[in-house]
């Protein structure tokens, strides 16, 4: 998405370096990128301060088919309206997949 206001894996290092807590964010995104590359899946990472309506706005702009979040944060994303929510147990904890067919 050239010109997109949302960071991708290619520019996440530059943008994460400008944010407070950037070392932790950089480590988290680095791990996510490594796992995604290893699994050979298409991905796009979004790093935004979560304010009311932010998640729904990102959802509408990007039109993701699968959004993965920590299961305990699922209620924070209730305004997204996915077609289905699938929970998965991973070695690092439970995650929720917000699935949508556009």
In angstroms, how far is CA 26 from the centroid of its own chain?
13
Query: What is the pLDDT at residue 87?
Result: 93
- Mind listing the pLDDT tens digit for each residue in 51-76? 777 878 888 888 888 888 888 888 87
CA 32/CA 47 separation, integer angstroms: 12
Give 22's DSSP letter.
Answer: H
Element (H, E) at 31: helix 22-39
- Mind listing the pLDDT tens digit for each residue in 39-53? 888 887 777 776 777
pTM: 0.59
Mean pLDDT of the region 16-34: 72
CA 12/CA 25 separation, integer angstroms: 9
């Amino acid at each position: 998405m050239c010109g997109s206001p949302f960071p991708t894996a290619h520019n996440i290092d530059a943008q994460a370096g400008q944010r407070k807590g950037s070392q932790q964010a950089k480590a988290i995104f680095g791990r996510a990128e490594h796992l995604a590359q290893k699994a050979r899946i298409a991905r796009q990472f979004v790093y935004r301060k979560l304010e009311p309506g932010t998640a729904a706005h990102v959802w509408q702009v990007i039109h993701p088919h699968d959004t993965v979040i920590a299961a305990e944060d699922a209620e924070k994303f209730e305004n997204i309206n996915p077609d289905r929510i699938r929970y998965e147990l991973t070695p690092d904890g439970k995650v929720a997949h917000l699935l949508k067919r556009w």
